[in-house]
Structure 1
Amino acid sequence: MATIVMEKIGRVFISLQQIREVPRILTEAAPSMPGTVRDTEVPCYFRERYVCTGYRPLDQNWRYYFLSLFQRHNETINIWTHLLAFLVVLVKLHQLSETVDFVGDPHSWPLLILIVSSLIYSAFSALAHLLGGKSELCHYIFFYLDYVGVAQYQYGSAIVHFYYAVDESLHTYVNGIFMPAATVLSCLSCLGCCYGKYCNHRLPTWVRKVCQVVPSALAYTWDSSPVAKRLISWSTASNDPAIIYHFGQVAFFLSCAFFFTFPVLEYCFPGRCDFLGQSHQIFHVFLSCCTLCQIHASHLDFLGRRELYSSLHGSGDAAVFVGLYVLTVVVCVLIAAFMMRKVKQMLDFKAKSK
């Protein structure tokens, strides 16, 4: 009997020892998470104007950057704003798929392209801010991917505006040229963003902003012209349920364009917006709100203007526009690949000259 009791006490003792070892085992299994560093400790191309601290150190293992999703640094909010937007749009897609026949109804394909392009740009943006800090090469790769996402989203915006929001008078003037022009402008926007990033080493910051903003502004002006015309004639469409959401998307886009171009808060409070309050974070929030308003407005147009857009667009138009979307994506990927080749040559030359 005493022997049995001693054996049980020994087992309990061994179990307690194992339990005490659990914290040490978890500590050894978890990756080391280096603290953040100041702007002076990272290369210039990683620095954001008036953001002084919160930069992640370069050349860590991939696990570190993935787990930095849960770390406090100056990209945390940028990552989570678009990650949450991705999840919200995904839920919206699931809800719409219960009532909209995205497979059998060609008239629903423009709406599907808008939602898919929204998921892609928000996912690519989150990845760029999460993984772009690993190295200079990764910085270019993931942000070029981000620019591809933005360009194809611009096309997604154009297709729903032209397909659902256009009226008969404007359709008469731009039919046949609107969507091909939207493809060209989306590709130019991708090229401008990639080139601006490529020239970041040699030219002032404002040059990069011009390369990014001007092509995107031209694309937005063209893509949103059907909505603009509709908003101008708002008094004759006061019973239009989608009009308030079209107003919303325009207001949110203009706001996010302002904060993207001008880092007002960082300039006014240098060093105080390193974690929360950066203009780029506000840009992300407004852009996500713009996208959600756009999706909702397009869904209302899809439901309420079917008789109009069915008469304006032939049975094969939707398929042609889907083809142009695929073409836009392919061309933008080729542009990014071409610019990455130039980046690789530049980085190789820098490495040899050291």
Structure 2
Amino acid sequence: MCNQSGQCSSRSRNKQGKGKRLWKKVKYQLVEYHSLPGYLRDNEYIQGHYRANWPLKQAFFSIFSIHNETLNVWTHLIGFFFFLCLTIYTAKKVPEVVDLHSIQHLPDLHKMHADLMTCLPSLPDMSDLHKLREELRTSMPSGWHILELLSNCLPDRFFSGNQTDASVLHNMTDELANVIGPFIRRPVTRWPFFAYLGGAMFCLLASSICHLISCHSERCSYIMLRVDYAGIASLISTSFYPLVYYSFMCHPFFRNLYMGFITVLAIATVMFSLLPQFEKPEFRTIRAVLFSGMGLSGILPILHKNILYWNQPAAIHTTGYELLMGMFYALGALVYATRVPERWMPGKFDIAGHSHQLFHILVVAGAYSHYRAGLVYLQWRDFEGC
């Protein structure tokens, strides 16, 4: 109650405070599918636990509460941080990992080690051989001829003019060149690989934000869905870059043709997604087919790669990872389009286990498969060059 001077009792203020808290609790409660505004109606088989018309602050902090988008947000948010860690690791470790892996698998390593012991008697063990490799890789200009290196380490008797010794010198030159050649060659450019990692991170982060705040308003939902579609197109198109660039780096025409084609296709897909009808439920299958078609266009460069390098183990190895990636993406698109398993038991998978969550997990698995293929590409081209 309030007195004549306008002062309210503590009991009255408490009632008002409880009323405001109750109103907020009711206002931001989860609703069922039939209560949703039209722009949020996408999957009638998910029947409850929706957020609708929430302020941005409440929508953002709902990341820590339970609703039917919680796992959609976290599956790709965790995937984003996972790929961020992979990017940092790759930037720091890939050159060293590739070099060490290559030298440890040279078939004539023991024979060449013996030759190096004759040439450089001060090298007592394999660790010193590795130190020599690192010094050569970092200090020797790539244009130096191998004979200049040998002239600094071989005894003078090899340059006495004796034909037998000269033939020995040339034999050792050829063998030593095979060993250290990959390590004094400049590493292949990394930008296609990091472009792919950037595209993957953009896709995963855009998807998480879209699922988190699209419940704010129709305009926000429209914008965030377009960002989400752009992220999907970015992931698919940049997946081509390591495949095409490293497979056809010795064939610039095909490299530019394939990379230009997928880039133009991605831009066209993003432009098409700007149409208001694109996100409607009846276009779900068309969306799945469109993005799947982008991915399937990668079959041509993969076949071309295997024709060019049919006897190259790295080509077969990368193709295995790419087939695994395609399997994950295709299964994800199928689950997304058919809305399995929630269509079998509507309402039972509202919180966990519905098709969009499975789709997210399969996307992260496919993206990681392609990351593994990228590592093989880098090792292949670092070791062999063009």
TM-score by length of 2: 0.63
Q: Paired residue for 1:93?
A: 87
Asked if 1:81 is matched to 2:75, the reply is yes
Asked if 1:52 is matched to 2:44, the reply is no
Say whether the 8 Å CA contact 2:76–2:205 is kept in structure 1.
Answer: yes
- Alignment CA distance shift 1:57-1:131 (3 Å): same
Q: Deviations over 1:261-300 (max 9, x none)?
A: 2112111111111111111111110001101111121122
Distance in 2, Cα, partners of 1:164 & 1:145 = 29
Asked if 1:126 is matched to 2:240, the reply is no
* Paired residues for 1:295-310 under 5 Å: 295-306=371-382, 310=385
Gaps of 5+ in 1: 1-23, 312-354
Q: State the superposition RMSD in angstroms.
A: 3.0
Task: Decide which of 237, 245, 263 is 1:183's aligned counterpart.
Answer: 263
Distance in 1, Cα, partners of 2:365 & 2:306 = 19
| SS of equivalent to 2:67 | coil
Distance in 1, Cα, partners of 2:351 & 2:303 = 36
Asked if 1:34 is matched to 2:28, the reply is yes
Q: Paired residue for 2:189?
A: 107
Q: Paired residue for 1:294?
A: 370
- Alignment CA distance shift 1:183-1:124 (3 Å): same
Q: Deviations over 1:40-73 (max 9, x none)?
A: 1111321232111010131x32221111101111
Paired AA for residue 291 in structure 2:
S
Distance in 2, Cα, partners of 1:95 & 1:176 = 29
Select between 34-43 and 131-140 the one with higher mean Cα deviation: 34-43
- Alignment CA distance shift 1:94-1:262 (3 Å): same
Count of aligned positions: 273
Distance in 1, Cα, partners of 2:283 & 2:82 = 34
Paired AA for residue 232 in structure 2:
V
- Alignment CA distance shift 1:276-1:232 (3 Å): farther
Say whether the 8 Å CA contact 2:248–2:254 is kept in structure 1.
Answer: no
Say whether the 8 Å CA contact 2:48–2:68 is kept in structure 1.
Answer: yes
Distance in 2, Cα, partners of 1:233 & 1:271 = 52
- How much does 1:248 deviate? 1.8
Say whether the 8 Å CA contact 1:110–1:163 is kept in structure 2.
Answer: yes
- How much does 1:304 deviate? 1.9
Q: Paired residue for 1:265?
A: 341
Say whether the 8 Å CA contact 2:196–2:239 is kept in structure 1.
Answer: yes
TM-score by length of 1: 0.69
Say whether the 8 Å CA contact 1:188–1:215 is kept in structure 2.
Answer: no
Say whether the 8 Å CA contact 1:185–1:218 is kept in structure 2.
Answer: no
Q: Deviations over 1:206-229 (max 9, x none)?
A: 33531x234323321223533355
Q: Deviations over 1:108-145 (max 9, x none)?
A: 00011011111111000000000111110110111111
Asked if 1:193 is matched to 2:273, the reply is yes
- How much does 1:97 deviate? 1.3
Q: Paired residue for 2:242?
A: 160
Gaps of 5+ in 2: 1-16, 96-185
Say whether the 8 Å CA contact 1:166–1:226 is kept in structure 2.
Answer: no
- Alignment CA distance shift 1:229-1:257 (3 Å): farther
Say whether the 8 Å CA contact 1:245–1:293 is kept in structure 2.
Answer: yes
Q: Paired residue for 2:295?
A: 220
| SS of equivalent to 2:341 | helix
Structure with larger Rg: 2
| SS of equivalent to 1:36 | coil
Q: Paired residue for 2:352?
A: 276
| SS of equivalent to 1:88 | helix
| SS of equivalent to 1:53 | coil
- Alignment CA distance shift 1:65-1:304 (3 Å): same
Q: Paired residue for 2:64?
A: 70
Task: Decide which of 243, 246, 271 is 2:322's aligned counterpart.
Answer: 246
- How much does 1:93 deviate? 0.9
Say whether the 8 Å CA contact 1:199–1:208 is kept in structure 2.
Answer: no
Say whether the 8 Å CA contact 2:242–2:377 is kept in structure 1.
Answer: no
- Alignment CA distance shift 1:238-1:307 (3 Å): closer
Distance in 2, Cα, partners of 1:186 & 1:200 = 15
